[in-house]
Chains A and B, each alone.
Chain A
Amino acid sequence: MLNNNIDRSKLMDVLWKVHRKKRHIGHDDISKIANQFEMSRMELEGVVTFYHFYHRIPSGKCTIYLNDSIVSELSGRKEVLEAFEDALGIKLGQVTADGRFGLFKTPCIGLSDQEPSCLINLKPFTNLTPEKVYKIIDRLKEGDKIREICDEPETNIRYTPEEDRTVFFKPYTRFSGLSNLHRYSPEEIIELVRESKLTGRGGAFFPTGLKWQFCRQNEADIRYLICNADEGEPGTFKDRVLLQKYPETLIEGMILAGYAIGASVGAIYLRAEYMYLKKRLEALLQDYRNNGCLGKDIKAKQAFDFDIYIHMGAGAYVCGEETALIHSMEGKRGEPSTKEYFPVEKGFKGKPTVVNNVETLCAVPRILNMGLSKYLELGTELTPGTKLLSVSGDCERPGLYEIEWGMKLRDFLKLVGAKNTKFALFNGYAGECLSPIDFDRDISGENMIGDHELFQFKDRDHYSARMSGVGLRAGGSVMIFNEERDVLGTLKNVADFFVHESCGICVPCRTGNFLLNKKIDRIKLGHGEEKDLQEIKEWSKIIKTTSRCGLGKASSNALNDAIFKFPEVFGTVLSENTDFNKAFNLKDATDHYDQIINEMTADYE
C-alpha cells in the first residue's frame, strides 16, 4: 500500500537539490529518489524528462542557457551564440569535453527588455554582446564565481501614471497592507475584491473575487493559495519586476487572499528562470514570519494560520496553466487536468485551491490601501485600475509600463517609442498578431468581441472599421516589430515554441501543432500553394476547438491573424494549386543513394 507519509510535492525540490550539485540527475539518483518516494523508476523518469531544466546526462559545471525567443533574435542573438560557440569550442546543445561548460537554448527567460540574455546556472547575464561573452567565459575559466559576475536585471520601469493614479509602482510601506486584516472580515475582503472588478492578470481575466468566493464556499479541512509566478509567456517580465521591486506587496496580497479564502498554506510557484530571486524572497518571508505576519495565529479580525513556501518550477511553459501547475506542485508531470473539476473544487492535493497571478495578488493590498472608490476612478468601467505591460522589440524604450486601462493602442505605441511598426504580438505568442489596422483599438476589457466573430471578416477595411475601439487585453507581453522584420520568420519561431512546449497529453495539440509547424516550413521554403492557407485555417480550428487546455486553444492565434492581416506576405510566396507537390524534389530525395554509390565507387579507384 502507498505510504501516506510520503509527500510527493517535495519531489521537485529533491530533484533540484541533486541537480544543483551534479548538474544532472544520474541513473543512481533516479533509483534512489524513486525508492525514497515509493514510485517506479520509469514514473520518475517521466517526471524528470518532462521539465527541460532537468538533465539526465551531465550538462556542464556551468550550464549556459541562451534565450531563443524572437526578441532575442532581433537583438543580435546570432552573433552572441557564435561568440559562445567560438569561446567554448562547442555547438549549441553540447557540453565541453572537460565537462565545465554546457551550452543550451531555452524559451523566453523573462528578460526581453535586455536581450540578448542568458542564464548561467540560472543566474542572469543581460545585454550580451560578443565581447561581453568572451569576457564572461574568460572569467569563468579563471574560476570566478558566477554569482559574483552575473548581472542584476534592470527593472526598466518606463512609465507610470501620475502618482495618485498609479497602483503598482509607487512607494510602499512594508506591512501597511496587513492593517486591512484588522479592518475587514474575510467575507468583506472578498466583497471588496469583487467590487474592484479585479480579474486574473495572467491573461485569462477570470474575476478574482468570484474565484475566491467559490473556493471559500467549498467545505474542506484545508485550502491552498498558490501564486502563479511561472511567467512563461514569451515577452512577459512584469512579474519579475514586481518580485524585484515590491515583493512585499505580493506577500501581503497572499496573506490577505489566504485570510479571505480561509487557506492555511500558500505557495509561490516560481519559474526556474527566476531562481535568482528565490533567496531574497525567502529572506523576506522569514522577516514576515519573525514579525508574526506568517505562521500560527496571525492577528486579524479573525485570527488565522497561514504560511508561505516557494516551489521551484523546472522549465515547462504549460505549467503556467493552473491545473498543470498544480500537477507540477504535486511532483507529477505538468499536464493539465481533464477539467472535470475546477481547482477551487478539487485542486492541490484534491483540496480547494486558488491559483492567482503575481500581478493579481500584488494588486490586492494596493487596492485596499488606496480605497475602493479611488481605485474605481481609474481605468474604464469594466476594467478599472491599471495594467502592467512588458514591452520589447522594436521601440525606443523597451521595459515595463504601468498604464491606465483604456489607452488607445496608437497612443501606447507612441509612448514606448515604436516607429514604423509593422506588427506586434500582443499577449505574447498565444495572443493576437496586431497590424496597423488594429491601432485604433483600446487596451481595455471594453467592447470585447467573441471568437466566433473574429475570423469572419471579409477584408481588412471591414475589419478595421469594426474593430475600432474594440478592447484588447494582455497578460503582459507586447512585442513590437518594425517594417524590416520578417512575418514568416516570426511565425516560425512561435510555431517552434508551441511544438517544444506542448505537453503531449492530447492529440490535437501534440500532433496538430507539429503538423502546422511543418506547413510553415513548407511555405517558408517556397513550396506552398494557395490550398495550404486554407488547410492551415481548417487545421487550426480543429486544434483550437478540441485541445485540452489553453495552450492548444491559443497556439495558432498569431498565425491565423497574420494570414488575414498580411495577405501580401503570403501572396508572394504561395503559388497556385497544382497537381504536383513542389516540396518533393527528386534530386533531394535521392541524395543518400548518390552519396552511398559515390563513396562505394570511390573505394574501388
Chain B
Amino acid sequence: MSNLVNIKIDGRPMQAEAGMNLVDVAKQNGIYIPTLCYFKELNPLATCRICTVKINGRETTGCTVAVSEGMDIEVNTAELLDNRKAIIEMLYAEGNHFCPSCEKSGNCDMQNLGYDMGITVTRYPHVFSDKIVDFNPKRMIMESNRCILCKRCVEEVKTKDGKDVFSFVQRGVKTRVHIDYEQEAKLSEAEALHAMNICPVGAILVKGMIQEQPFGERKYDLLGKDILPQVKEDLLRATEDGKFIVATTSLAGCFGCHMSLLDIDTDLLDVLEIVEFNKSPLTDIKKFSKQCHIGLVEGGCANSENVEVLREFRKKCDILVGFGECAIMGGIPAMRNFVSLKECLEEAYINGVTTEVGADVIPNHEDIPKLLNNVYPCNEVVKIDYYIPGCPPNAQHIWKVVKSILLGEEFSIAHDEFKYD
C-alpha cells in the first residue's frame, strides 16, 4: 500500500489511494458530496456542477478529481453549500418540473437533492419554456420538460453497433436531448429500461413500464436527513387576548391544501387556543376586518381576481406563507402555460368533448375575472416570506410551520414530511 496519499477534507486529515475519485474517497470517509450527473467513476460527465468543491482554494467539480498528495479540499463551506442549492434551484426554474404529476416522483434524484437541501422554492423566476414531449420512439417517451441535460443517456446508451441513441441537439438554453428513432428501435427491452433507470429525473420513460415499482414504496421517501429551515428575524407579537390572527385563501388551486389544513383533526382545538381566523374559507369571512399576523396562500395566480386577492393579502398580512406547489411554482394549473390561452378557452368551452353541441361562447362578462395569459407563482406577483411545499403539504407540517413562525421557535422538518408531491 505504498500509493497512499495524505489529503485533507474540511480540515480533517485522511489517507486515500492515489488517483481515486474524490467523490468516492469522501464517501468512504463519511463525507457526502452531493452529485447528480455523476454515476460512474469512469468518464465523469461534470455537466451539473453540483459536486463543486474547492481544492487548494480553487473551485472544481469533485467528480473529475483524482486525489493526489497534499490536496486541501473544502466540501461543506457555507458558500459551496449555497452554490449547490443554487444550481438545483436553477434546474427547477429552467425545466418544467411538476412533481405531483411526474411518474418518477419519489424516485427522482433531483427531487431528493431538493429535499436534502431544504429547497422550498427557487430563488430564480420560473422560465416556463415550451418543450416537446416526444411519443414517437418505439419504446420510449422523451419528456423534455423534465430533462436536466445531465448527459448520462447520451454517453451510456448505445446500440450494439456503437451508435448513439440519445443526442444533444441545438446549443445553449435551446439544448435538448433527442432520441434517434431508428437506433432506439434496435434497443432491447432491458436496454430501454436501463435508459429509464439511469435517467436521474423523469425525462426518459418506457411505454407501459412507467410505474415499475408499486406506488407508495419509493426510493427516497424515507431516506435523507432532516433539515433546519432558515430562522426568521423578527418575532410576531400576539394581540392583547394572546391570540394571533391568521387569514387563509385559495387562489388558483384545488382547495386540497385547505382540506389538508383540517386533517390535524382534534389538534385543531389546540390551534384555536392561539389562533384567531380572519378572512378565510374556513370562517367564511369574506373581507379583512383587521391586520393579520399570517396569511396562508394556496394556489397561484390564474386570473385577475387571484392577483387582487393576493395583493390584498400582502397588504393585510405581516407575513405571507405560500403553501402547496401551486402557490410556490404555479403547480398543475401552470401546465397551461405551454398552450395558448385561446386554445385553452376554446377547448374548454367550444371544442371539448364535454361541451354542449353548438356551444360557441367563451363566458365573458365584466363581473367575471379575466384569465391571465399565464399562471404565475405567487412570488412573481408579490413578495412571499415562507413556503411550505407539497401537493398537498402534510397537515402536521403546515401547523408546525405556522406555529413556529408565530412563536418564533426553531424546529426541524422531518425528511418524510417534506414533499413536493
A596–B164 touching, CB < 8 Å: no
A511–B178 touching, CB < 8 Å: no
Of the candidates A1, A42, A545, the one whose C-beta lies within 8 Å of that of B169 is A42
Given contacts A511-B93, A511-B94, contact A590 B87 (CB under 8 A): no
Those of B307-350 within 8 Å (CB) of chain A: 307, 311, 314, 340-342, 345
Check if B83 is an interface residue, CB within 8 A of chain A: yes
Check if A152 is an interface residue, CB within 8 A of chain B: no
CA distance A36 to B411 in the complex (A): 63
A40–B169 touching, CB < 8 Å: no
Of the listed stretches A169-177, A428-436, A578-586, chain B binds A578-586
B341–A596 touching, CB < 8 Å: yes
Residue interface mask B86-119, A partner, CB < 8 A = 1: 1100110110000000000000000000000000
CA distance A402 to B171 in the complex (A): 36
Check if A159 is an interface residue, CB within 8 A of chain B: no
Check if B49 is an interface residue, CB within 8 A of chain A: yes
Given contacts A338-B44, A584-B380, A589-B373, contact A45 B167 (CB under 8 A): yes
Of the listed stretches B237-245, B250-258, B280-288, B364-372, chain A binds B364-372
CA distance A505 to B314 in the complex (A): 40
Residue of A with least CB distance to B46 = A338
Chain A residue numbers with a CB within 8 Å of B52 are: 545-546
CA distance A46 to B178 in the complex (A): 9
B87–A597 touching, CB < 8 Å: no
Q: How far is the CB of A537 from chain B (nearest CB, A)?
A: 13
Given contacts A511-B90, A590-B370, A596-B345, contact A579 B172 (CB under 8 A): no
A581–B373 touching, CB < 8 Å: no
B172–A504 touching, CB < 8 Å: yes
CA distance A221 to B341 in the complex (A): 63
B93–A597 touching, CB < 8 Å: no
Chain B residue numbers with a CB within 8 Å of A578 are: 383
Check if A382 is an interface residue, CB within 8 A of chain B: no
Given contacts A40-B180, A50-B170, contact A508 B383 (CB under 8 A): no
CA distance A499 to B173 in the complex (A): 7
Q: How far is the CB of A41 from chain B (nearest CB, A)?
A: 6
CA distance A586 to B305 in the complex (A): 10
Check if B20 is an interface residue, CB within 8 A of chain A: no
Check if A366 is an interface residue, CB within 8 A of chain B: no
Given contacts A499-B173, A507-B49, contact A41 B182 (CB under 8 A): yes
Residue of A with least CB distance to B186 = A40
Q: How far is the CB of A93 from chain B (nearest CB, A)?
A: 15
Residue of A with least CB distance to B180 = A42
Q: How far is the CB of B236 from chain A (nearest CB, A)?
A: 17
B364–A42 touching, CB < 8 Å: no
A589–B47 touching, CB < 8 Å: no
Residue of B with least CB distance to A552 = B49
Residue of B with least CB distance to A578 = B383
Residue of A with least CB distance to B183 = A40
Number of interface residues of B (CB under 8 A): 70
Q: How far is the CB of A1 from chain B (nearest CB, A)?
A: 6
Check if A279 is an interface residue, CB within 8 A of chain B: no
Output the residue of B59, B159, B180 with the most chain A CB within 10 A: B180
Chain B residue numbers with a CB within 8 Å of A600 are: 361-362, 364
Chain A residue numbers with a CB within 8 Å of B161 are: 1, 38
Chain B residue numbers with a CB within 8 Å of A40 are: 159, 163-165, 167, 180, 182-183
Number of interface residues of A (CB under 8 A): 58
Check if A442 is an interface residue, CB within 8 A of chain B: no
A580–B164 touching, CB < 8 Å: no
Residue interface mask A504-518, B partner, CB < 8 A = 1: 111110111011001
Check if A592 is an interface residue, CB within 8 A of chain B: yes
B49–A589 touching, CB < 8 Å: no
Check if B151 is an interface residue, CB within 8 A of chain A: yes
Check if A98 is an interface residue, CB within 8 A of chain B: no
Check if B376 is an interface residue, CB within 8 A of chain A: yes
Chain B residue numbers with a CB within 8 Å of A584 are: 307, 376, 380-381
Check if B15 is an interface residue, CB within 8 A of chain A: no
Given contacts A40-B180, A581-B380, contact A596 B172 (CB under 8 A): no
CA distance A512 to B49 in the complex (A): 12
Check if B188 is an interface residue, CB within 8 A of chain A: no
Chain B residue numbers with a CB within 8 Å of A503 are: 171-172, 175
Of the candidates A49, A500, A506, the one whose C-beta lies within 8 Å of that of B49 is A506
B151–A515 touching, CB < 8 Å: no
CA distance A593 to B336 in the complex (A): 14
Residue interface mask A568-598, B partner, CB < 8 A = 1: 0000000000111101101001111110110
CA distance A195 to B52 in the complex (A): 36
B342–A596 touching, CB < 8 Å: yes
Q: How far is the CB of A44 from chain B (nearest CB, A)?
A: 8
Chain B residue numbers with a CB within 8 Å of A333 are: 168, 171
Check if A340 is an interface residue, CB within 8 A of chain B: yes
Those of B23-71 within 8 Å (CB) of chain A: 44-49, 52, 59-61, 64, 66
Residue of B with least CB distance to A42 = B180
Of the candidates B49, B159, B170, the one whose C-beta lies within 8 Å of that of A508 is B49
Check if B124 is an interface residue, CB within 8 A of chain A: yes
B83–A46 touching, CB < 8 Å: no
A591–B373 touching, CB < 8 Å: yes
B44–A340 touching, CB < 8 Å: yes
CA distance A561 to B371 in the complex (A): 42
Residue interface mask A305-319, B partner, CB < 8 A = 1: 000000000001000
Of the candidates A50, A511, A586, A596, the one whose C-beta lies within 8 Å of that of B304 is A586
Of the candidates B123, B162, B178, B345, the one whose C-beta lies within 8 Å of that of A42 is B178
Check if B228 is an interface residue, CB within 8 A of chain A: no
B341–A592 touching, CB < 8 Å: yes
Residue interface mask A40-76, B partner, CB < 8 A = 1: 1111011001101000000000000000000000000
Chain B residue numbers with a CB within 8 Å of A499 are: 172-173
Of the candidates A502, A508, A535, the one whose C-beta lies within 8 Å of that of B173 is A502
Those of A343-377 within 8 Å (CB) of chain B: none
Residue of A with least CB distance to B384 = A579
Chain B residue numbers with a CB within 8 Å of A50 are: 168-171
Residue of A with least CB distance to B66 = A340
CA distance A529 to B42 in the complex (A): 46
Q: How far is the CB of A5 from chain B (nearest CB, A)?
A: 14
Q: How far is the CB of A580 from chain B (nearest CB, A)?
A: 5
Residue of B with least CB distance to A3 = B162
Check if A548 is an interface residue, CB within 8 A of chain B: yes
Chain B residue numbers with a CB within 8 Å of A514 are: 94, 127, 172-173
Check if B382 is an interface residue, CB within 8 A of chain A: yes
CA distance A52 to B172 in the complex (A): 11
A504–B170 touching, CB < 8 Å: yes
A502–B179 touching, CB < 8 Å: no
CA distance A586 to B165 in the complex (A): 46
Chain A residue numbers with a CB within 8 Å of B46 are: 338-339, 506, 548
27 contacts between A and B (CB under 8 A): A40-B180, A42-B164, A43-B167, A45-B167, A45-B178, A46-B178, A52-B171, A333-B168, A333-B171, A502-B172, A504-B172, A504-B174, A506-B46, A506-B48, A507-B49, A507-B94, A510-B149, A511-B91, A511-B94, A514-B173, A515-B127, A545-B59, A545-B83, A581-B382, A590-B373, A592-B340, A600-B362
Per CB-CB distance, the 9 closest pairs between chain A and chain B, nearest first, are: A504-B175, A42-B180, A338-B46, A46-B167, A40-B180, A579-B383, A42-B167, A590-B370, A40-B163
Please give the residue numbers on chain B whose beta carbons come within 8 Å of chain A beta carbons, in ascending order.
44-49, 52, 59-61, 64, 66, 79, 82-83, 86-87, 90-91, 93-94, 123-125, 127, 148-149, 151, 159, 161-175, 178-180, 182-183, 304, 307, 311, 314, 340-342, 345, 361-362, 364, 370-374, 376, 380-383
Please give the residue numbers on chain A whose beta carbons come within 8 Å of chain B beta carbons, in ascending order.
1-2, 38-43, 45-46, 49-50, 52, 316, 333, 338-340, 499-508, 510-512, 514-515, 518, 535, 539, 542, 545-548, 578-581, 583-584, 586, 589-594, 596-597, 600-601
Q: A1-B162, A39-B163 are in contact. List 14 more A-B contacts (CB 8 A).
A: A42-B167, A46-B167, A339-B64, A503-B172, A506-B46, A507-B90, A507-B148, A515-B124, A542-B86, A545-B52, A545-B59, A548-B61, A592-B373, A601-B364
